Amino acid sequence: MADSPDSPDSSPSFLSGIINEIFSSYLNIALIGLIAFLLYKIVRSSNDTSTPSAPPEPELPKIRRDFTIKELKEFDGNQPDGRVLVAVNGSVYDVTKGKRFYGPGGPYAAFGGRDASRGLATFSVVSSDKEGYDDLSDLNSMEMDSVREWELQFKEKYEYVGRLLKPGEEPASYSDEEDDNQQDSNASNKPINADDKPKAE
């Protein structure tokens, strides 16, 4: 009687309305695809216990040097040692312990061996078209704040390696430098200073 299936408020048509709405736009479909893909990659990498007897990978020796964009590209995790480096806001970090994110096949592999600043600021996990050094000068202040926040996260979690060199810049020599001085010497040369608090260790 009252519960006619054609009633506009009945839940099946309400639900199908939402579904229609979602699938009516290519952008929505693309976003759903992206979310599903990233979730799949992350879940798959965190469940990757298929070889429980495999010994943990030995830690690579620490490196301390500056990189040009071209040199950085060598460290995308595809080399025999599997080291992965990522640059954010002019600083290069060794993210090898986060290889499941940034290494080959990871959800953020596009950042491995690259300057991730633009991608992080614009929520894009695909490789930027920009070849060569990216001075980020077209990013707005919110995007730059986001770059600096990401950099703080990288600094907390990963080992700092050196600076990302602008075209024509010379690499610094770190051979005689004490570990404790590393972050300080970097701060003065960086293109954009993040909140550079020395770590109390």
Q: How far is the CB of 29 from ligand HEM (least distance, A)?
A: 14
CB burial of 86-107 (b: ≥16 within 10 Å; e: otherwise) equals bbbbbbbbbbbebbbbbbeebb
Indicate the SS3 state at residue 200. coil
In degrees, to the nearest 5, what angle opens at C-alpha 40 toward C-alphas 97 and 15?
145
Contacts of 132-140 spanning 24+ positions with Cβ under 8 A? 132/69, 132/167, 133/69, 133/164, 133/165, 133/166, 133/167, 135/166, 135/191, 136/192
Q: Which is nearer to ligand HEM, 18 or 35 (CB)?
A: 35
Q: How far is the CB of 47 from ligand HEM (least distance, A)?
A: 11
Q: Which is nearer to ligand HEM, 155 or 174 (CB)?
A: 155
Give the separation between CA 116 and CA 66, rounded to whole angstroms: 16
Binding site for ligand HEM (CB under 6 A): 34-35, 38-39, 42, 46, 98, 101, 108, 119-120, 123, 125, 157
Q: Which is nearer to ligand HEM, 24 or 123 (CB)?
A: 123
Q: How far is the CB of 201 from ligand HEM (least distance, A)?
A: 20
Q: How far is the CB of 114 from ligand HEM (least distance, A)?
A: 12
Q: How far is the CB of 179 from ligand HEM (least distance, A)?
A: 22
Q: Which is nearer to ligand HEM, 141 or 173 (CB)?
A: 141
Indicate the SS3 state at residue 88. strand
Give the separation between CA 76 and CA 187, rounded to whole angstroms: 25
Q: Which is nearer to ligand HEM, 77 or 119 (CB)?
A: 119
